[in-house]
């Protein structure tokens, strides 16, 4: 069975940084086919590379710093991700691109799409800023449409 993994990444204790996790929580409340799995990836994306072999496609939901105004929505494909992590490689600095490379070394090459929102504030505080609260329904809707399109591409 072709499977889709929807993964929310972020830290809900750092204001807008948690937007991907909040989106994941909203999506999980809706009815989806059995071939769609949802995982809260938290902040440790290096731990998920072994899981990727089970999936044909991975949809990542995250805060993305792309240089646009806060609340701007992004849709990125695998080729848009940076080749290397910024800074040195340690257990706490390994990013999504590195996790995908590790999965490829194990023989897995899932399709990847990243949907993101430009954060306004990343501070030690729970919840979203007013700017992201306004954008949040659009982010969830974008993710819903992306899931439907990915499923269609997979033949469902």
Walking along the chain (156 residues) 10 residues at a time, the average pLDDT comes out as 90 95 97 94 71 88 93 89 50 59 80 94 96 98 98 92
pLDDT score of 1: 65
63 forms bridges with which residues in the sheet?
117
Instruction: State the DSSP H helix or E strand holding residue 37, giving kind and residue range, or none if neither.
Output: strand 36-42
Q: How many distinct structural domains can be found in the chain?
A: 1
- Helices 19-28 and 130-153: crossing angle, nearest 10°? 60
What CATH number does residue 106 fall under? 3.40.50.1450
61 forms bridges with which residues in the sheet?
8, 115
pLDDT score of 44: 63
pLDDT score of 17: 94
pLDDT score of 108: 78
pLDDT score of 89: 32
pLDDT score of 83: 60
pLDDT score of 88: 38
Which residue range forms the structural domain that includes residue 31? 4-153
pLDDT score of 91: 35
d(CA 91, CA 15): 23
């Amino acid at each position: 069975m072709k499977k889709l993994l929807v993964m929310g990444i972020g830290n809900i204790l750092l204001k807008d940084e948690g937007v991907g996790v909040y989106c994941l929580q909203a999506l999980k409340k809706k009815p989806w086919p059995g071939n769609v799995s949802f995982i809260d990836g938290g902040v440790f994306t290096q731990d998920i590379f072994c899981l990727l072999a089970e999936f044909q496609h991975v949809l990542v939901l995250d805060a993305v710093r792309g240089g646009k105004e806060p609340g701007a929505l992004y849709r990125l494909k695998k080729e848009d991700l940076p080749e290397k992590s910024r800074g040195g490689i340690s257990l706490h600095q390994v990013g999504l691109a590195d996790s995908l490379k590790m999965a490829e070394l194990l023989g897995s090459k899932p399709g990847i799409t990243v949907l993101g929102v430009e954060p306004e504030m990343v501070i030690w505080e729970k919840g979203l800023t007013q700017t992201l609260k306004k954008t949040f329904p659009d982010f969830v809707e974008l993710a819903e449409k992306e899931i439907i399109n990915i499923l269609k591409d997979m033949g469902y």
